[in-house]
Structures are given as C-alpha cells and as structure tokens.
Amino acid sequence: MTTRYDRRGFMGFCGKSALAAGMAGAAGTLPTAAMADLLEDAPTVKLLDKDGAPLKASELAPNTTLIFNYPYVATPVMLIVLDAPTEADTQTKDGEGHTYLWQGGVGPGRNIVAYSAICAHLLSYVGHETAFLHYNTEENEFGHAKVITCCAHGSSYDPANGAKVVAGPAEYPLATVNLAYDEAEDSISATGVIGTELFKKFYDSFRQDLRSEYGRAKYRKIVTEGAVALPIDEYSEYVLEC
C-alpha cells in the first residue's frame, strides 16, 4: 500500500539520517578496492516478475516504476518505463568529472532505463519501509515533471538523459545500471553499473539496518541469479511524494 507522507513531517528524520549517512561515508571503514573489484565483475542478471518468470519488456506500461536489487542484494535500483524513446549515447559526467556514455533506453520502445535508487546527494534511498526517491510524471513541488525526485532535499534527475541533475543539491547523476534486451525472449537483464556508484558509502552508512533486513551473512553479497522487480508501491511500504 502506498502512503503519502507530509513532506515537512518527515524532513527532520530524513535530514538527520542523510547527515549521518554523509558523515559515516566520509569516515569509511570498508575497503574501497574490494568493493570496486567486485563491481568489475558485476554479473549479468535477468529481471524477473514476482512469480519468478522473466519480465516481459513489451508488457511494461509507460510511466511504470519497478524496483529490484542489483548488483548487491541490498542495493536498490529503479527500472523506469518512460513514455517515449530516449536518445542513445548521451555524454554524462560522473562525480569525479570523468565523462562516460549513457547508452539510452532498451526494449522494443527504447524507453526502459535503470538507475541506482541511492541519491547522489546524501544517500537517501528506496527501502522496503520508505521510498525517498520516486519517478514523478507530473510536476513535483520543485517545478519539474518527468524526473526522478528525491524527497529528502529535492534533487531531481532526468531519467531520459542519463539521470543528469535537473534541480536540487546533488552534484552528479545517479549511477546508471546498464540493461540488455533479449528480443527473442522479450526479456531484460542488468549487465553492470556505470557512473558514480555509492555502494561503499551506502554500506558504511546503513550497515546495521541492512544487516538486520537482509541478514549478516548475506547483506553484502552480489546478486548472482535473477533479480525480482516489483512495482515501487509493492517494494516499499511508504512512497514519499513531493
């Protein structure tokens, strides 16, 4: 069930958790190299529906948002079905100023895109309890439509353009999750992550929460089999709107 929160009502909580996230990330306790090495081997993982069958790209309605976890079992990704094809090979800049090519949408309509659902500002994310980010087709309270909005502090990202920052305090795009489309099977697979991924900071910041949610032995594992993609309002108990 989706519940609308009064944004002002949760800002205190969110501001504190985001600040804590930034501080914990800066302190850093996990070895960066280990995480980076794992990412280089990010697996190709097929996206599945809730019954475990391959997700059919042609059956996904425009303006749908699904959430799956990738490349780690605890790191959320937004799969968004846009209402129009995207341009391919858009030049994008990561958090260190390096350029990379965003490949554009996949699927029969070239309109299916995926991004890490961890905000590039202070790591607010789409969790099972609360989704701080969502895709809004209508204008958000910051004056932008068809953007991914993080309700923590209003960062807005353009999903049709590599998740470039449109508004708000974030300084660089959400990390892209590369997708591949199998035309014969009409299926979609996640094939890797490009851009500024924040997984190390995310794990540093939310270790206790993630351990209790996914289990101490499992919470940092790489996804190796299919990833179930759920509608955002089934994945999260509360989807914040702003």
Which 61-120 positions form the footprint of ligand FES (CB under 6 A)? 119
Q: Is 124 in the site for ligand FES (CB under 6 A)?
A: yes
Q: Is 152 in the site for ligand FES (CB under 6 A)?
A: yes
- Minimum gap (Å) between residue 178 Cβ and ligand FES: 23
- Taking CB under 6 A as the binding criterion, the range among 105-113, 165-173, 177-185, 203-211 that sits at the site for ligand FES is 165-173
| Rounded distance between C-alpha atoms, residue 35 and residue 199, angstroms | 8
Which 14-43 positions form the footprint of ligand FES (CB under 6 A)? 18
Longest dimension (CA), the chain: 49
| Rounded distance between C-alpha atoms, residue 24 and residue 205, angstroms | 5
Q: Is 168 in the site for ligand FES (CB under 6 A)?
A: yes
Q: Is 196 in the site for ligand FES (CB under 6 A)?
A: no
| Rounded distance between C-alpha atoms, residue 126 and residue 134, angstroms | 8
Start-to-end Cα distance in the chain: 17
Coil/strand/helix, residue 232 = helix
Q: Is 153 in the site for ligand FES (CB under 6 A)?
A: yes
E strands of 3-125, at which residues? 45-48, 64-69, 76-81, 90-93, 99-102, 112-116
Closer residue to ligand FES in complex, CB, 57/148: 148
How does strand 227-228 pair with strand 133-136? unpaired
| Angle value at C-alpha 46, between 1 and 40, nearest 5 degrees | 110
C-alpha closest to that of 117 among 57, 62, 56, 159: 159
- Minimum gap (Å) between residue 9 Cβ and ligand FES: 17
- Taking CB under 6 A as the binding criterion, the range among 26-34, 49-57, 163-171, 213-221 that sits at the site for ligand FES is 163-171
Among 45, 55, 117, 150, binds ligand FES (CB under 6 A): 150
Closer residue to ligand FES in complex, CB, 153/164: 153
By CB under 6 A, name the binding residues for ligand FES.
Answer: 18, 119, 121-122, 124, 150, 152-155, 168-170
